[in-house]
Structure 1
Amino acid sequence: MAAWVRAALSAEDRAALLRFRESLQMRHSFRASIAACLVLSTGSAALAQTAPAAPTREAVVARAIESVIRPGYERLDKAGEVEAKAFTELCAKPDEAKLKAARQGFADLAQAFGAVEFIRFGPITEGSRFERYLFWPDRRGAAQRQAQIIVNRRDADAATSDLLPRKSVAVQGLTALEYVLFGNGSDALASQAGAFRCRYGATIVGNLGQISDAVAEQWRHPHGIVERLTKPKPSDPTYRSTQDSLQELFATVVRGLTAVRELRILPGLNALPGETKTNLFLFGRSDHATAMLVADLDGLRALLADSGLLALKPGTSLDPAQELGAIAVSIRALGPDLGQAAGTAEGEAVLRDAMARIQTVETVLTTEVAPALGLSADFSALDGDEKDTP
């Protein structure tokens, strides 16, 4: 302040002016503090958003059931209902449009099953339900061969819902249904000439519906398998702790990935002389091999990511869920006939690359995730997949 101004002011005025200046300084300091707090708060919020707290193991098990397993079986049950309706209409008044609807229903049903195919614990293991739903591997074509015999001989027992379950599992499931809808002579389904074939197919679908309905109901119920997994007890023979439940989920993914490599892709690449590559891919005869393989990968990816299991061990050398999604995209680009794709140098290269990448995901899971979570990677990867015996 200029000297002449200070001289013109009284002592009282100068004191008031000094208090005003101090007030301004305090306001400036307060505003700076508020701004600093806002910066810190915003930074903390951003940090919290980018690095959320890891879920508990109990939460992972619960989310696996609520977000993946239970809705997966619900979708399977719903797809079965749609296919049953399609067969009812086809058998009642056969024509090309209804046959097309039944074939599309098969595709939807197969893919819905693919999403939960590798869940080999719980209700699906009771009463040979899984084997009755899908007989595979089947390198010798037992399902196709036996289903053809049933159709040619018009075996009435196979078209009776109470008697079909007494026959070989090879003629009860999706692979037999594939023959009914897409095998030799299947175009007859569009007319009365395919009446018996239609009844046999409808019986298969009806029995599959009973299986999916029972399994979905058991996963829907709060007790039973759900309670055993989410509220393990020392007296339970399998799930004595949450760690046992988490181990079940982890083993499911690793076994599933190994099965995709060795039982879904490799046989088609290593066809023996006289073998048709297309027939060595699951549902290759109906041009649904690619869709089924993608459904398998998507189901396993969901079990890893949507459950939160991967969030228990962040910072792996690659993101397993993201990598599985990318592999599925590369396989989908090959088109519906994997056998035809495998017969080309480019297609074979894509499939072999997919196998290598899947194995890398397995390695990350078993060497990085498993040790960090105290999980075992010492189990038979193909337990329950050694079929091919009708």
Structure 2
Amino acid sequence: MLTRCTRIALTALLSLPLLGLAPALAQESPITPGVLDTAKVPGVMAKAVDGFIRPGYHHFTEEADTMEETVAALCASPSSETLLNAQSTFGDLVEAWSRIEIVRVGPVLDDNRFERILFFPDRKGTGLKQVQAALAKPDPSVTSVDTLKDKSVAMQGIGALEFVLFGTDAETLKTSEGIYRCQYGKAIAANLKRLGTELTQAWDAPKGVAAAWKTPGPNNPIYRDEAEAAKELLGVLVHAAETVRDQRIEHFYKGDAVKGLPRQAIYWRSGNTFRSITANIEAIRDLIAQSGMVDLLAEDNRSVVSSVDFVAHSLSRVSSDIEPDVAKALATPKEVAKLDFLLLNSRDLILRLNNDLGGGIGLAAGFSFSDGD
């Protein structure tokens, strides 16, 4: 008898050839438990910082700056064209953040910066109500970054900006009627640029967190040895894959389209749900590649990296091809098959990162990063 999970897998995989796609299911190969090559860890950590983390925050900050400029142009000359330009720029901002948001360690956790940039999930709708209240009654304190930054985290980030640009009554932004709403959006964009600047400065500082990543050792305030540093980097990858499955996909779809909750999906209003998920997955691939994690594996274990990349690339290819409107996707069997594919193979990606890559580089296979150990 087929289990429910197997039925879902078969349904997805049988549907994929019709879509011109191939299932992930990379060839299995035995993993020999590795011993961490401590001499190579500092180099890998340095490449992670200089090749992925620092460029990622710089790119996000640049997109936030562009976002502020386009919203300012919208406020100065409200029209259908300037609104469409701001909405398009918002998609670029989402993608930039989605690539670097997988790094949920370091300065982004200080002063609730992560939540200030992205407050999600908003399980009780508290943040949405706060944004709606701010728009319902003009309040000068939300139109200036100097005062907005001290308000609720839910009112000052990407989620709030999405509602300003795409939520109820967003069409007023095309006319002078929406000037207050537009000024609020401009303050949010300015606040995102402020936060991005703080993060780039923190990671660019010669003696700051970047130095700690690059030089693990007994005098390091963060990583006392190479194993702690390698565990942090691997943990970033595992947590990223878990977030894709648990908070990005299963938050609105758990395998039954009838019970799907499209309005629980991140960025559903702007149609950027799957663009964000794709960027998350591509970021996992990019971090592995840019850091040179393959160097931590013994020669006979190096196929692990290509196996992980194969599964991640398959996920990315499918997620980038799904109908952007989440409600429409859930109502279309062909699109639901793609969602089933994401559910099945995102779990596989987590296991390959946690067990295969972790075990291969010398961290205990099967170690769970979810418990904070």
What band does the TM-score fall into relative to the shorter chain? 0.7 to 0.9
What is the alpha-carbon distance in structure 1 between the residues aligned to residue 159 and residue 234 of structure 2?
28
SS in 1 for 2:95: helix
Counterparts of 1:1-390 in structure 2, within 5 Å, are 56-270=40-254, 277-313=261-297, 314-316=302-304, 319-376=307-364, 378-381=367-370
What is the alpha-carbon distance in structure 2 between the residues aligned to residue 365 and residue 375 of structure 1?
11
Change (3 A) 1:338 1:318: farther
Q: Which runs of 4+ in 1 moved over 6 A?
A: 271-276
Deviates more, 1:353-362 or 1:247-256: 353-362
Asked whether the 8 Å contact 1:281–1:339 carries over to 2, the reply is no
1:132-157 CA-partner distances (Å, limit 9, x unpaired): 00000123333332211110111222
What is the alpha-carbon distance in structure 2 between the residues aligned to residue 71 and residue 317 of structure 1?
22
What is the alpha-carbon distance in structure 2 between the residues aligned to residue 250 and residue 362 of structure 1?
11
What is the alpha-carbon distance in structure 1 between the residues aligned to residue 340 and residue 154 of structure 2?
29
1:347 corresponds to which letter in structure 2?
E
SS in 2 for 1:334: coil
What is the alpha-carbon distance in structure 2 between the residues aligned to residue 164 and residue 357 of structure 1?
41
What is the alpha-carbon distance in structure 2 between the residues aligned to residue 266 and residue 255 of structure 1?
15
1:50-89 CA-partner distances (Å, limit 9, x unpaired): xxxxx92222111111111111111101101111111111
Q: TM-score scaled to structure 2, two decimals? A: 0.83
**CA displacement at 1:270 relative to structure 2:** 4.1
1:116-140 CA-partner distances (Å, limit 9, x unpaired): 1120112211111100000001233
Larger RCO, structures 1/2 (Cα 8 Å, 6+ apart): 2
What is the alpha-carbon distance in structure 2 between the residues aligned to residue 81 and residue 275 of structure 1?
39
2:154 corresponds to which letter in structure 1?
A
Q: TM-score scaled to structure 1, two decimals? A: 0.79
**CA displacement at 1:340 relative to structure 2:** 2.1
Change (3 A) 1:357 1:318: farther
What is the alpha-carbon distance in structure 2 between the residues aligned to residue 61 and residue 279 of structure 1?
38
1:378 corresponds to which letter in structure 2?
F
Asked whether the 8 Å contact 1:259–1:382 carries over to 2, the reply is no
**CA displacement at 1:278 relative to structure 2:** 2.5
Q: Which runs of 5+ in 1 are unaligned?
A: 1-54, 384-390
1:31-66 CA-partner distances (Å, limit 9, x unpaired): xxxxxxxxxxxxxxxxxxxxxxxx922221111111
Q: Which runs of 5+ in 2 are unaligned?
A: 1-38
Asked whether the 8 Å contact 1:219–1:225 carries over to 2, the reply is yes
Asked whether the 8 Å contact 2:354–2:368 carries over to 1, the reply is no
Asked whether the 8 Å contact 1:95–1:189 carries over to 2, the reply is yes
SS in 1 for 2:149: helix
What is the alpha-carbon distance in structure 2 between the residues aligned to residue 112 and residue 225 of structure 1?
21
1:204 corresponds to which letter in structure 2?
I
The aligned residue for residue 52 of structure 1 is none
Change (3 A) 1:382 1:240: closer
User: Percent identity, aligned pairs only?
Assistant: 28
What is the alpha-carbon distance in structure 2 between the residues aligned to residue 295 and residue 60 of structure 1?
22
Asked whether the 8 Å contact 2:42–2:216 carries over to 1, the reply is no
What is the alpha-carbon distance in structure 1 between the residues aligned to residue 85 and residue 181 of structure 2?
16
**CA displacement at 1:317 relative to structure 2:** 8.9
Asked whether the 8 Å contact 2:323–2:335 carries over to 1, the reply is no
What is the alpha-carbon distance in structure 2 between the residues aligned to residue 324 and residue 59 of structure 1?
24
What is the alpha-carbon distance in structure 2 between the residues aligned to residue 364 and residue 166 of structure 1?
41
1:271-308 CA-partner distances (Å, limit 9, x unpaired): 99998732111101111111111111111111112211
Asked whether the 8 Å contact 1:259–1:381 carries over to 2, the reply is no
Asked whether the 8 Å contact 2:104–2:236 carries over to 1, the reply is yes
Asked whether the 8 Å contact 2:78–2:173 carries over to 1, the reply is yes
Aligned length: 330
Structure number, greater radius of gyration:
1
Deviates more, 1:264-273 or 1:164-173: 264-273
1:176-215 CA-partner distances (Å, limit 9, x unpaired): 1000000011011111100100111111111111000110
